[in-house]
Each structure stands twice: as C-alpha cells, then as structure tokens.
C-alpha cells in the first residue's frame, strides 16, 4: 500500500482536475490531465481505492468527485457538467416558471435538446413543472442550493452563462 497516493505528479494532476470540475467524466479527465486512457484509468482506480476520489457510474460513463463533495450534491454537479443543462439551470435561476418556447428563445437550444435535459432535471427533482394555460412551465426547485453549488464550483464551469449568473447575483446581493 502506498504511503501518499498523491506523491505522483500524474495523480496530483488527475485529482486537481476532479477537484476543480466535480462530476467530470473519465474521458474528460484524460483530456484535462493530458494522459493516455490506460494511465488515467489506472491512476483513477488508485485514487478511488485510497478514498480520495469517488466514482459514480451513470449510464454509459463514470463521473468522478473528490471525496469531500457530499453525496447530495453529486447529482446536480454531474448534470451541470453538460453545457446545455447548465445553460437551462442558469436561465431558470434568473427567471423561474419558463415555458419551452421561452427557454428556447433565451438559451438558443433546440426543443429536442431542452426536452432531453428537462427530463433528466425533472427525474432528479432539481426542476419542477407547472402549467401556464396549455403550456408546461419549468422552475428550479431549490434555487439557493443550485446557485450556491454553481458559485462554489464556478472555476470548473467557466462559461458566459455562469458568469452572467454571477453578475446578476452580485446585483441582487451586493457585498
């Protein structure tokens, strides 16, 4: 058994990639850490056995978290790895109870892409639906929690949607 699982520079790169980007897929770890597939898989396994990293299987790929990320936050962070899901969440945080046509207009996503991500977000309870006439509306169920997690892990989601949300948040809650 190893004394320090992070003694190797390659493992430190992998661990740092996971720390900054919770919910990162194995393929994304390879790319970010700039390592070959076999080497990445080997070191991910060593970090998992050492208890520093948690592997969460999801469909066709595994997602990785540092062990410090609470179980209750992992689903949201895994789903937020998708730029489209993140865009939808941020849009609904800014303006709750939006219809699919409104989401399409505000995000630029296709109706099909919105449907796929809304199904996942609804299944996990991160989003709830309602009705506005004949149209279905959508809203984030726990806005404070989603906002807190996006702000906490913004370094791993550096995109204009999260940055725009942070600007709005700063306007709403000045220091």
Domain identity same for 165 and 84: yes
Domain identity same for 83 and 61: no
Domain that holds residue 153: 76-172
Query: According to the model, what pLDDT value does residue 164 have?
Result: 63
DSSP at 56: E
- Residue 146 CB neighbours (<10 A): 20
Per residue of the chain (175 residues), what is the pLDDT tens digit? 468 999 999 999 999 999 999 999 999 999 999 999 999 999 999 999 999 999 998 878 899 999 999 988 898 888 888 889 988 998 998 888 999 999 999 999 999 999 999 999 999 899 999 998 899 999 999 988 888 888 888 777 666 655 666 666 556 555 5
Domain identity same for 61 and 81: no
CA distances (Å), 112 to each of 7, 8, 21, 116, 118, in order?
46, 44, 27, 6, 10
Domain identity same for 100 and 166: yes
CB-side neighbour CA atoms (13 Å) of 138: 24
Inside any domain, residue 142: yes
Q: How many structural domains comprise the chain?
A: 2
Query: According to the model, what pLDDT value does residue 51 have?
Result: 96
Domain identity same for 45 and 127: no
Inside any domain, residue 3: no
Inside any domain, residue 80: yes
Give the CATH number of the domain where residue 113 resides. Answer: 1.10.10.10
Inside any domain, residue 104: yes
Query: According to the model, what pLDDT value does residue 16 have?
Result: 95
The pTM of the full predicted model, rounded to 2 decimals, is 0.77
DSSP at 112: H
Domain identity same for 65 and 84: no
Domain identity same for 158 and 139: yes
By the 8 A CB rule, do 65 and 80 touch? no
Inside any domain, residue 163: yes
Domain identity same for 111 and 137: yes
């Amino acid at each position: 058994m190893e004394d320090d699982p992070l003694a190797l520079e390659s493992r430190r790169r992998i661990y740092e990639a996971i720390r900054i980007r919770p919910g990162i897929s194995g393929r994304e770890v390879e790319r970010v850490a700039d390592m070959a597939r076999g080497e990445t898989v080997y070191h991910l396994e060593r970090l998992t056995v050492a208890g520093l990293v948690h592997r969460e299987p999801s469909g066709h790929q595994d997602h990785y978290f540092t062990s410090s990320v609470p179980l209750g936050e992992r689903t949201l962070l895994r789903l937020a790895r998708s730029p489209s899901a993140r865009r939808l969440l941020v849009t609904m945080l800014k303006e709750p109870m939006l219809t699919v046509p409104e989401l399409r207009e505000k995000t630029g996503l296709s109706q099909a892409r919105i449907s796929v991500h809304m199904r996942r977000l609804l299944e996990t309870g991160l989003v709830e639906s309602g009705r506005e006439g004949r149209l279905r509306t959508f809203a984030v169920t726990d806005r404070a929690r989603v906002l807190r997690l996006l702000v906490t892990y913004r370094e791993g989601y550096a995109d204009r949607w999260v940055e725009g949300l942070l600007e709005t948040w700063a306007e709403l809650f000045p220091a």
